[in-house]
Structure 1
Amino acid sequence: YVAVPEVYRTAKIQDLYRRLRATSLHCSQVGDARPLSYCEFSPNDQMVAVSSWSGLCKIWTVPDCKHVRTLRGHTINACCVSWHPQATLTQDPSVINLASSAFDGGVKLWNLESDEPITEIEGHEPFRVSKVKFHPSGRFLATAW
């Protein structure tokens, strides 16, 4: 930053402010009482799932931001939430549609009909699982520390 001449820094800052002024807010919603750690839109773009430091994961409708469900299962910061690639498209709502991870190493699998997890994937403890992601086929789930 110091090596960049003042005139270029000023121009970059002015460009940033110009872009920010052109940005418009389409929707704002308090996702949880604690900070959100991750969000992801559903495959059909009709919902968004969020994970929070409270340990809760929540599902909201898009674009009206109505609360659909609170997924309760993590007892410590939830780090990530990921939709199954066929969730909300062809996937039965009673089978695995979401995965979530937490700071304590917990990984949980969810359907769209219950607030409680279907099952838990063990073996990550005591390490934090910062990211979960389904393979595009939906057959595999990757986890990252």
Structure 2
Amino acid sequence: MLVAGNFTYAVMTLSATTFMFCNLFGARLLPPALCHGSVVSLALQLSFTVLVIAYSFALGLATPTTVMVGTSLGATKGLLLHGESVLERFSTVDTIVFDKTGTLTIGRSTVTKVVSQGQGHQEDADARKNHHRECDI
């Protein structure tokens, strides 16, 4: 535990030092790297590179954890995903189609609100609503 704690502090210090060094001297030492970005973006990129290389094992642990948390949060919101392969296939999706009846979420259509324009129309609306209930049974 003592080695891991010291290693963590050393890597964080090295990453912060990399950020400060690149922020101060990056424009003079690495001008080709700044073709499309700023000094700060280069400094961030290099300091994160130090973290990723030093903590590559952490990425291996974090990925399954984030998939598990993401699928759990999705399930609480009504989005059911069966396995992580579904998440991987989302990168190939270019179109999502939803219909107006709600059949993708409930499995049957429902009437949520009836607006009438007077007394005569109210009877028609009630009849349509009752007919709709009979069709759902």
Larger Rg: 2
Determine which structure has greater relative contact order: mean sequence separation of CA pairs < 8 Å that are 6+ residues apart, divided by chain length: 1
Please state which structure has a larger fraction of its residues in strand: 1
Whether the TM-score (by the shorter chain) exceeds 0.5 is: no
User: TM-score normalised by the shorter chain: which range applies?
Assistant: under 0.3
Please state which structure has a larger fraction of its residues in helix: 2
Scaled by the length of structure 1, the TM-score of the pair is 0.22
Scaled by the length of structure 2, the TM-score of the pair is 0.23
